[in-house]
Structure 1
Amino acid sequence: MDKPVTPRVHGLIDYAACALMVAAPQLLRLSPKARTASYALAGSYLGVSTLTDYPVAVRRLIPFPVHGKIELSTVPVLLLLAGLGHGARDRGYFLGLAGTVLGAYALTDWQADPDA
């Protein structure tokens, strides 16, 4: 089965996810600890995204398949954060992020030409 998400589209999704991780905690009235965790995740995702070998990067240093492995490695962190959440909103937020990461990972063609 062909995977529909190209490196370029994945990069755009990454930047949108970073913006979401900055804006959503306040909009959803998450706990202060959940906000801090979300902002830290946004910063780390932004750092990796700006340095990944795809067309929307600032500097193309991280191979695209390595980016995928880094991204996938955040799922256990997101699940842990959901388990440590201080309420249903925190838990739901981090579970939703974990699902989003898994979905984006599953739909991305990690072997595609980075300029696709």
Structure 2
Amino acid sequence: MRNVWGRRGHALVDYVTAPALYLLARRTALSRRPRGWADTFVLLILLAVTTTRTPLGVVRLVPFRWHGRLELASVGVQLALPWLAGFAAERRARQFFLGFAVYNFLVWRATDWSADR
């Protein structure tokens, strides 16, 4: 897979992902605990995108490459979360987070993390 977007494109994807994740967590009728974790990721995505050095960042503190490293680490957390947080037996919640991890990895992979400012 080649890099599809740079700083601006990735920021746009993050700004779309946060509300989409919020709505999808409700649409799939996640139980309380997994929905709470989904909401946590919504907030983390918004925190990350608004504080990263991109054209769409609000307070540009976090270097773009660090954002990428943190995003890749979050993929690992999303993959393990159903078991770590004790809701792996809930098929819908488990698939939700595994799907979210795959989506997040594809977004990470499609981003040119060395893109110029």
2-structure distance, mates of 1:34, 1:21: 12
The residue aligned with 2:107 is 104
SS at match of 1:109: coil
Instruction: Summarize the alignment of residues 1-116 of structure 1 with structure 2, pairs less than 5 Å apart.
Output: 2-83=2-83, 84-114=87-117
Q: Residue 59 of structure 1: CA displacement?
A: 1.3
Aligned residues: 114
SS at match of 2:55: coil
Post-superposition, which runs of at least 4 consecutive aligned residues in structure 1 deviate over 4 A?
A: none
- After TM superposition, the score normalised by the length of structure 1 is 0.91
**Relative to 1, partners in 2 of residues 1:29 and 1:2: Cα closer, same or farther, differing over 3 Å?**
closer
Q: Which amino acid in structure 2 is aligned with residue 110 of structure 1?
A: W
2-structure distance, mates of 1:112, 1:94: 29
- After TM superposition, the score normalised by the length of structure 2 is 0.90
Q: Percent identity?
A: 32
Cα deviation 1:61-101 (Å, max 9, x = unaligned)? 11101100011110121011233334221011101110011
Mark the runs of 5 or more structure 1 residues left unpaired by the alignment. Answer: none
Mark the runs of 5 or more structure 2 residues left unpaired by the alignment. Answer: none
